[in-house]
Structure 1
Amino acid sequence: MSDGQIVVSGLTKHYRNVRAVDNLSFTVEPGRVTGFLGPNGAGKTTTLRMILNLVTPTAGAATIGGQRYADLAEPLRHVGAVLEASSAHKGRTGLNHLRVVAAGAGLPRQRADEVLAMVGLTPAAKRKFKGYSLGMRQRLGIATAMLGDPKVLILDEPANGLDPEGIRWMRDFLKSLAAQGRTVLVSSHLLSEMQLLADDLVIIAAGQLITQGPVDEVMGSMSGNTQVRVRTPQAEALTGVLAAQQATVTPGGDGALLVTGVDAPTVGRAALTAGVELHELTTERPDLERVFLDLTAGKAGIR
């Protein structure tokens, strides 16, 4: 088993009458960014806390490199985690906050300067924490997680509070960590961003696994939602031709036609045969937001 592989096996957590996590199993591989998705109340944060032994499971287990987090020697050198915006003494500077954490973990003092530079906070190193914006606190949290140069990074909603430039920075930074062979597990509600960031997806709802796998496979599993967008000045003629091929044609809101049941080459051939002029012919595949909503439709967040 790889040092950086996360294995969640039959993980379950009951709170009185609520099953927050219900027999959940999945793996997270090194060298990849894994997006951990689910509706509000799906059990994502509870799962991350059980992986980090901050919450005791009712049943099941979670390991990192074959060991429970609590059993890791020098855990900060193995796992970096940010489960909420960084907190620190309000009167302490970002640099001193990192130096205190480094000292407590037996890490070199200069590591604080290195991770500040890594997350772009060097200009704010000597500013007090109380003056940090939410986005700066997120970056400080990432810096704290990276102090031990860990092989595994676990982040819960790391883009909260970041502006578009910060979100792009976060994407590039996490991708670079995965490219170094590290394991990166990220939960997020920003589905459009996750489509750009993640290599793999784990989607849960009501504490149970809905699907997992590479992004392309998860998106491909919903290929039945693919449609062809076509624009023509002869909409009625094209609609009649396509109806004869068992295609379904519906008008789009902007004057285009949306076609399901056949692919774009079939639409093009039908138009050519019928002498219909086309101004646009595009295949539209569902984005991650649509796939996510379809996969989790009707599944309550908390039971």
Structure 2
Amino acid sequence: MSDGEIVVSGLTKRYKTLLAVDGLSFSVRPGRVTGFLGPNGAGKTTTLRMLLNLVTPTSGTATIGGSRYADLRDPLRTVGAVLEASSAHKGRTGINHLRVICAAAGLPKKRADEALELVGLTPAAKRKFKGYSLGMRQRLGIAAAMLGDPRVLILDEPANGLDPEGIRWMRSLLQGLAREGRTVLVSSHLLSEMELLADDVVIIANGKLLRQGPMGEVVTSMTTTAHVRVRTPQADGLTAALSGLPGATVTPSSDNTLLVTGVEAPAIGKAALAAGVELHELTPERPDLEGVFLELTAGKAGIR
């Protein structure tokens, strides 16, 4: 097993009559950002809390580098985690909040300054926590998670409260940490951002694994089909022209728009030209993470 690899095996959590996580198994490799996705109530947060030994599994195991979190010799230097926006004494400054954690964990005082610089909060180091925005609190939480320079980072909805610039900053930070060989596991509802951020993806619903693998493979493996969007005032004429192309399927959409599958855009344009059909739009549309996610999780949202 690789140093820093996360392995979830047969993980189950039952709360009386509620089965929150049901025999869940997946792995997260070092050197990559892994997106942990699922609809509301899928069991994501419960899984992360079991991974950090904040919740006791009913059965199964969740290990980091082959050990339970509770058995790690130096957990703060092994794992950094943020499961919600950072909380701190309202009258304490950002830098003092981190210094208190350093003192309690036996870490050098300078790590507080280094962590603040890492997350871009140095200018706000001496501002009191009560004056921090939600986005600043998210950054402070990540700074706290990075104090021990951990090999593994576990984040639950880290982009909450961040503006577009902050989200781009977060993406750059996490990808950079993964390139250093760290294991980065991120839970998020922002599917478009996750498609840009993550190398791998784990999708669950109702506490069960639906799909796991490299982002590109997961997106292209689904039945969601690539199609070409064609807008023309001569929809019937184009449909007739395409009927002679092997494999072409034409589905009327709206506003003189047709969705064409089974044939590429250049062939559609050539057929339209030969038939004298006027085209106003010819746009290839590929499967994306959102489409795959919705297809996988349709009707599977729950309450947990």
TM exceeding 0.5:
yes
Structure 1 residue 176 displacement after superposition: 0.6
With 81-90 and 259-268 compared, the bigger mean Cα shift is at: 259-268
Which position in structure 1 is the counterpart of 2:157?
157
C-alpha contact 1:250 1:259 (8 A) present in aligned 2: yes
Matches within 5 A, 1:1-303: 1-222=1-222, 224-245=224-245, 247-302=248-303
TM-superposition CA deviations, 1:67-114 (whole Å, max 9, x none): 111111110100000000001111111100100101111110011001
Once residues 254 and 181 of structure 1 are traced to their aligned partners in structure 2, the CA distance between those partners, rounded to angstroms, is 50
Unaligned runs of 5+ in 2: none
Once residues 275 and 139 of structure 1 are traced to their aligned partners in structure 2, the CA distance between those partners, rounded to angstroms, is 58
TM-superposition CA deviations, 1:31-59 (whole Å, max 9, x none): 10000000000000000001111100001
- Over the aligned positions, Cα root-mean-square deviation in angstroms equals 1.7
Structure 1 residue 292 displacement after superposition: 0.6
Once residues 94 and 102 of structure 2 are traced to their aligned partners in structure 1, the CA distance between those partners, rounded to angstroms, is 12
Structure 1 residue 277 displacement after superposition: 4.8
Once residues 224 and 27 of structure 1 are traced to their aligned partners in structure 2, the CA distance between those partners, rounded to angstroms, is 25
Structure 1 residue 173 displacement after superposition: 0.6
TM-superposition CA deviations, 1:130-156 (whole Å, max 9, x none): 111111100000000000000000000
C-alpha contact 1:18 1:302 (8 A) present in aligned 2: no
Evaluate the alpha carbon distance shift between residue 224 and residue 157 of structure 1 in structure 2; reply closer, same or farther with a 3 A threshold: closer
Once residues 132 and 281 of structure 1 are traced to their aligned partners in structure 2, the CA distance between those partners, rounded to angstroms, is 47
The count of corresponding residues between Structure 1 and Structure 2 is: 303
Structure 1 residue 251 displacement after superposition: 3.8
Once residues 13 and 224 of structure 1 are traced to their aligned partners in structure 2, the CA distance between those partners, rounded to angstroms, is 32
C-alpha contact 1:30 1:178 (8 A) present in aligned 2: yes
**Aligned partner of residue 85 in structure 1, secondary structure:** coil
Structure 1 residue 226 displacement after superposition: 1.4
Once residues 182 and 102 of structure 2 are traced to their aligned partners in structure 1, the CA distance between those partners, rounded to angstroms, is 21
With 221-230 and 210-219 compared, the bigger mean Cα shift is at: 221-230
**Aligned partner of residue 225 in structure 1, secondary structure:** coil
TM (norm. structure 1) is 0.95
Once residues 254 and 221 of structure 1 are traced to their aligned partners in structure 2, the CA distance between those partners, rounded to angstroms, is 30
Once residues 157 and 233 of structure 1 are traced to their aligned partners in structure 2, the CA distance between those partners, rounded to angstroms, is 45
C-alpha contact 2:242 2:271 (8 A) present in aligned 1: yes
Give runs of ≥4 in structure 1 deviating > 6 Å: none
**Aligned partner of residue 66 in structure 1, secondary structure:** coil
- The amino acid across from 2:46 in the alignment is T
Q: Percent of pairs identical after alignment? A: 78
Once residues 94 and 207 of structure 1 are traced to their aligned partners in structure 2, the CA distance between those partners, rounded to angstroms, is 37
With 276-285 and 77-86 compared, the bigger mean Cα shift is at: 276-285
Evaluate the alpha carbon distance shift between residue 165 and residue 300 of structure 1 in structure 2; reply closer, same or farther with a 3 A threshold: closer
Once residues 149 and 78 of structure 1 are traced to their aligned partners in structure 2, the CA distance between those partners, rounded to angstroms, is 8
C-alpha contact 1:88 1:129 (8 A) present in aligned 2: yes
- The amino acid across from 1:152 in the alignment is V
Structure 1 residue 238 displacement after superposition: 1.1
C-alpha contact 1:74 1:105 (8 A) present in aligned 2: no
C-alpha contact 1:207 1:301 (8 A) present in aligned 2: no
- The amino acid across from 1:18 in the alignment is L
Structure 1 residue 243 displacement after superposition: 3.4
**Aligned partner of residue 209 in structure 1, secondary structure:** strand
- The amino acid across from 1:267 in the alignment is I
Evaluate the alpha carbon distance shift between residue 151 and residue 248 of structure 1 in structure 2; reply closer, same or farther with a 3 A threshold: same
**Aligned partner of residue 77 in structure 1, secondary structure:** helix
Once residues 244 and 295 of structure 2 are traced to their aligned partners in structure 1, the CA distance between those partners, rounded to angstroms, is 29
Structure 1 residue 272 displacement after superposition: 4.7
Once residues 232 and 299 of structure 1 are traced to their aligned partners in structure 2, the CA distance between those partners, rounded to angstroms, is 37
